[in-house]
Amino acid sequence: MTTPGVQGGLDEPGFEVDEEAAAADAQVRAGDVLSRDAHLAAAEGALLRCDEVVAGYVPGVNILNGCDLYVQDGELVGIIGPNGAGKSTLLKAMFGLVTIRTGTVVLRGEDITGLKAHSLVRKGVGFVPQTENVFPSLTIEENMQMGLFQAPKRFAERFDFVAGLFPALADRRKQRAGSLSGGERQMVAMGRALMMEPSVLLLDEPSAGLSPALQDEVFIRVRQINKAGVSVVMVEQNARRCLQICDRGYVLDQGRNAYTATGRELAKDPKVIELYLGTLAKA
């Protein structure tokens, strides 16, 4: 049995998940892969990493309870997990929008824990929030200018790059973002974040609320962005597709990394299927 709706929609073959074979495959168990020592060793030289991050919004209440994550240059890393697990909080903590109580965030060897978002943008970190990620009253072009407000002279050059990835946006550059469809708005949001030429892009549920066809388009675009040289950390509610396109995935549960392995390994791990994919993927 294969997962319906994923074949053909993505730009590379071979992402079908054979659940029956996977269930019988006891060789690869994500739980075994989650040795902290192995994770630490693999995180050596990472482009961006967080180690034992504890963070929360309200005093005395921790949402993240010791999160580890890394992304190497060129990687596409996915984060899945139940609602309320802390996925958005983790991205926001990495982007300086949630106070980190203990633990570190390190970018190319530099400790960036606690730095504010605008400093991180300058250092090459881009972030697309889960909601309200465009300026609806501004045109597409103006949204792109907002993305580049710290380096306005580079507009033409960067707009060309973004237009190469999203030609439809260039064609409609004078249209107000608020009049675009949900999928088009996601492209604007990603385009805006790409204007500053980030080395790593943090995406929070880019396919949320979109039709299956538009979700496919978003996943294809995320892969294209990654292939254009931008490392990506993507939170996704569409767990199966996320695992199909990512190099490595993390399952976050109650503010901790429950499992981590390659996307393929996680997608066929019986425990992950039982605990997370069963409910998440059908949602």
Interface positions with Mg ion (CB under 5 A): 87-88
For position 84 contacting ligand ATP by CB under 6 A, the verdict is: yes
Least distance in Å: CB of 258 to ligand ATP? Answer: 12
| Binding track over 89-108 against ligand ATP, x by CB under 6 A | x-------------------
Contacts of 135 (CB under 8 A, 6+ apart): 142, 143, 146, 177
Beta strands in 138-270 (DSSP E): 200-204, 231-235, 248-253, 256-262
What is d(CA 125, CA 216) in angstroms, rounded to the nearest whole number?
25
What is d(CA 28, CA 94) in angstroms, rounded to the nearest whole number?
30
Is there a contact between 263 and 245 (Cβ–Cβ < 8 Å)? Answer: yes
For position 278 contacting ligand ATP by CB under 6 A, the verdict is: no
In terms of Cα–Cα distance, which of 192, 53, 203 is closest to 114? 53
What is d(CA 60, CA 36) in angstroms, rounded to the nearest whole number?
26
Contacts of 264 (CB under 8 A, 6+ apart): 243
The two structure tokens encoding residue 161: 């790059």
Least distance in Å: CB of 19 to Mg ion? Answer: 26
Which residues, 163 to 192, sit near ligand ATP by CB under 6 A? none
Which residues, 223 to 242, sit near ligand ATP by CB under 6 A? 237
Residue placing its CB nearer to Mg ion in the complex, 9 or 129:
129
For position 86 contacting ligand ATP by CB under 6 A, the verdict is: yes
Least distance in Å: CB of 128 to Mg ion? Answer: 12
Instruction: Report what 89 binds from ligand ATP, Mg ion, none; CB cut-off 5-8 Å by kind.
Output: ligand ATP
In terms of Cα–Cα distance, which of 125, 50, 65 is closest to 95? 125
Residue placing its CB nearer to Mg ion in the complex, 22 or 203:
203
For position 63 contacting ligand ATP by CB under 6 A, the verdict is: yes
What is d(CA 249, CA 261) in angstroms, rounded to the nearest whole number?
6
Instruction: Report what 241 binds from ligand ATP, Mg ion, none; CB cut-off 5-8 Å by kind.
Output: none
For position 87 contacting ligand ATP by CB under 6 A, the verdict is: yes
Which member of 14, 20, 83, 137 binds ligand ATP (CB under 6 A)? 83
Residue placing its CB nearer to Mg ion in the complex, 85 or 134:
85
Least distance in Å: CB of 205 to ligand ATP? Answer: 6
Least distance in Å: CB of 91 to ligand ATP? Answer: 8
Which member of 80, 85, 230, 243 binds ligand ATP (CB under 6 A)? 85
Is there a contact between 194 and 162 (Cβ–Cβ < 8 Å)? Answer: yes
Is there a contact between 204 and 97 (Cβ–Cβ < 8 Å)? Answer: no
Beta strands in the chain (DSSP E): 48-55, 64-71, 76-80, 100-107, 110-111, 125-128, 200-204, 231-235, 248-253, 256-262
Stretch in the footprint of ligand ATP (CB under 6 A) among 79-87, 159-167, 174-182, 274-282: 79-87
Residue placing its CB nearer to Mg ion in the complex, 27 or 83:
83
Point out which residues bind ligand ATP (CB under 6 A).
57-58, 63, 81, 83-89, 237
